Amino acid sequence: MDVRSQVSMVFHLDKCIGCHTCSIACKNIWTDRKGAEYMWWNNVETKPGTGYPTKWEDQNIYQGGWERNGDSVSLKGAGKLRGLKNIFHNPYMPVLDDYYEPWTYKYQDLFTAPEGNDQPTARPVSLVTGETMDVKAGPNWDDDLGGSPDYARQDVNMQKLTPAEQEVMFQLERMTLHYLPRICNHCLNPACVASCPSGALYKRGEDGVVLINQERCRAWRMCVTACPYKKSYYNWHTGKSEKCVLCYPRLESGQAPACFHSCVGRIRYLGVMLYDADKIEAVASVPEDQIVQAQMDIYLDPFDPKVIEEAKKNGIADSTIEAAQKSPVYKFVKLWKLALPLHPEFRTLPNLFYVPALLPSVGTVNNGIYNSNTNGLWGGIDTTRLPMKYLASLFSAGNTETVAEVLKRLMTVRWHRRNVTVGDVDEKTVNAALEDTKMDTATADAIFRLTTLATFDERFVIPPAHREESIEMLENTGDVKGNTGFGFKERPARGL
């Protein structure tokens, strides 16, 4: 067992209001620079929709992620020989137009336009060429199903549905949507790292954050295609690729990443997961229908004395183990089994988990009265407006059973809380639901609490970075013993 610690995340989709505050917080801190204007390390998509960059989920286009290869996995569109062969031209690379051309407006024209018969306008100008341009697309132009024939209907996950099923989804009374905020998943088996010919990308051992060394990146652009989530971006101005850094300078000083901190819906949770690094290859190569379960099994129980012992042997600090025990991510993912990885079939073992949204169910019209009552315990789940197949295509590699289980558990919490707070559900229903999902009321209450009332410190359990030790990143403290403060440029030795 090779126990390592990983800073992991949960996004609770039921709570996301699609406000894009997270994206703006990130943009202001990290990507408001020349060459990075088009990058949204955090972006929020509407599902169904094509996303950003367009159709990023379609690996027939971008050839990202891993594919199973006997007992192991190999990169789908990259790798040693293929990477070096395609270095002069990467055939699967998304280009600017697959994202959008960033622009600003000529605001000054509003003040300086000569007097005339028309209102002066601020025309859009490209942030790439500086020329005036026609704005054709933006990073979230499919927001709230806007432009649906172009966006929602082209959703890559639709391929899993029959044409008839798709048609039903687009009937006006049935249409629904949910938001999907995305950041880099800081994967356990990162395709971006494996694809980089110059070895510029790496995973930090201490907390698992995946970073690009800007000094070593040579613009070979393999990570851009290899990341199946398209979360590595190419800066066209500096000639270097960049990606989400999980605000590691904030993490190291005990603060939540900016998108987590600013999240209006409080949908985001961050905490440590302990995992067994020896199993990564084996887990990444299981058949598709087992991949979710296999990934769940790689995460270890931080209360298990054996795990604690191995963790200590591996140098994991007590404070980190304690953080793992308090981790909200561990609760959502392992204890309560409420959160699932996005597109696990890409086999990168992502560390960002989503609690799927409990969407409204389909109603019927009787005598002019709209009736949205559902039958039986799980009627609401059986008739959910987004077909289960669609959700399964997002979160469980097509296994509808897995998603349905999660939704049932969420529903049970609702039954229980409805009973507690309003009291209009009969006890039998609640007990049947609890029994069916093998949950007790204490668990349901705990889920309720962490979902709705959790404080900042409950949502973000950040392990101390141990700055007193991390100074060793920069220097051996033994060498500079006897210096003060930040040290001297030269040792304070007696002059001649």
Partner 1 sequence: MFNATLNQFLFVIFPYAALAVFLVGSIYRYKNKGFSVSSISSQFLEGRKLFWGSQPFHWGLLILFFGHLIAFLFPRAVLAWNGEPVRLLILEIASFGFGLSAFIGLGLLILRRVTTPRITVVTSKMDVVVFLILLTQIVSGLCVAYFNRWGSSWFAAFLTPYLRSIFVFDPDITAISGVNSWWLKIHVVSAFSIIAIIPFTRFMHFLVYPVDYLWRSYQQVIWNWDRRTIRNSTKHSEGEKSTNN
Whether the Cβ atoms of residue 471 and residue 478 lie closer than 8 Å to each other: no
- Using CB distances below 5 to 8 A depending on partner kind, what does residue 22 bind out of partner 1, ligand SF4, none? ligand SF4
**In the complex with ligand SF4, which residue's Cβ is closer, 229 or 415?**
229
**In the complex with partner 1, which residue's Cβ is closer, 197 or 398?**
197
**In the complex with partner 1, which residue's Cβ is closer, 143 or 252?**
252
Q: Out of 26, 227, 256, 340, which residue is the one contacting ligand SF4 (CB under 6 A)?
A: 227
* Residue 93 near partner 1 by CB under 8 A: yes
Stretch that binds ligand SF4, among 11-19, 83-91, 124-132, 409-417 (CB under 6 A): 11-19
Q: Out of 7, 9, 39, 191, which residue is the one contacting ligand SF4 (CB under 6 A)?
A: 191
CA dihedral 92, 93, 99, 103 (to 10 degrees): -150
Task: Classify each residue of 225-249 as buried b or exposed e, where b means 16 or more C-beta atoms within 10 Å of its C-beta.
Answer: bbbbbbbbbbbbeeebbbbbbbbbe
**In the complex with ligand SF4, which residue's Cβ is closer, 13 or 307?**
13
* Residue 80 near partner 1 by CB under 8 A: yes
Q: Out of 238, 255, 383, 429, which residue is the one contacting partner 1 (CB under 8 A)?
A: 238
Which amino acid is residue 172, in one-letter code? L
* Residue 53 near ligand SF4 by CB under 6 A: no
- Using CB distances below 5 to 8 A depending on partner kind, what does residue 202 bind out of ligand SF4, partner 1, none? partner 1
**In the complex with partner 1, which residue's Cβ is closer, 349 or 394?**
349
Whether the Cβ atoms of residue 2 and residue 282 lie closer than 8 Å to each other: no
- Using CB distances below 5 to 8 A depending on partner kind, what does residue 442 bind out of partner 1, ligand SF4, none? none
Non-local (6+) Cβ contacts of 381 within 8 A are 361, 388, 404, 407, 408, 411
3-class DSSP assignment, residue 451: helix
Alpha-carbon gap, residue 75 to 330, rounded angstroms: 29
> In 437-479, where does DSSP find H-type helix?
441-448, 456-459, 467-470
Least distance CB 29 / ligand SF4 (angstroms) = 14
* Residue 136 near partner 1 by CB under 8 A: no
Alpha-carbon gap, residue 78 to 94, rounded angstroms: 14
The 3 state secondary structure assigned to 57-81 is CCHHHHCCCEEEECCEEEECCCCHH
Binding site for partner 1 (CB under 8 A): 75, 80, 83-84, 88-91, 93-96, 128-131, 189-190, 193-194, 196-199, 201-206, 214-221, 224, 234, 236-240, 280, 312-317, 469-470, 472-478, 481
